[in-house]
A = this chain, B = another copy of it.
Amino acid sequence: MKYCSISEAAAKFHIPESTLRYYEKKGLLPLIERDAAGRRLYSENQLSLLGTVICLKNTHMPISQIKQYIDWILQGDSTIERRLAMMKQHKQAVLAEISLMTESLQGIDFKINRYTNHQSKGELGQS
């Protein structure tokens, strides 16, 4: 198995090293090994786990909930049902958020149109 340093892991995912240390302290990246000098070593599996953490973060899952998910992974197969339920519920939350954003985007497009086509006045000038 190949290991990489914290600077390499940070570069791979385009995040600061400080964030990696922070996630580890929060329990999102457990069981990180160290070399003889105490420096972190990230295995392929841990980089893959980090990818998962970032995926959940990108979809706005709070850190406390990501930690719960990671804890369930650590507990093994007996938690698969709970993990599945969490992912299904999170998916619905993400779809709802995407819908809200998409809908709100129409309001923005409407403004772009007004400003572009009609040089109309805004809320305060509409008489």
Docked pose: A91 CA to B116 CA in angstroms: 14
Cα distance A73–B102 in the bound complex, in angstroms: 24
For A58, give the chain B residue with the smallest CB separation: B104
Say yes or no: B73 contacts A91, CB within 8 Å.
no
* Size of interface on A: residues with Cβ below 8 Å to B: 47
Considering the chains assembled together, what is the distance between the CA atoms of A124 and B76 in angstroms? Answer: 9
Asked whether A84 is an interface residue with its Cβ less than 8 Å from the other chain, the reply is: yes
Binding site for B on A (CB under 8 A): 31, 45-46, 48-49, 51-52, 55-56, 58-60, 73-74, 76-77, 80, 83-84, 87-88, 90-91, 94-95, 97-98, 100-105, 107-109, 111-112, 115-116, 119, 121-126
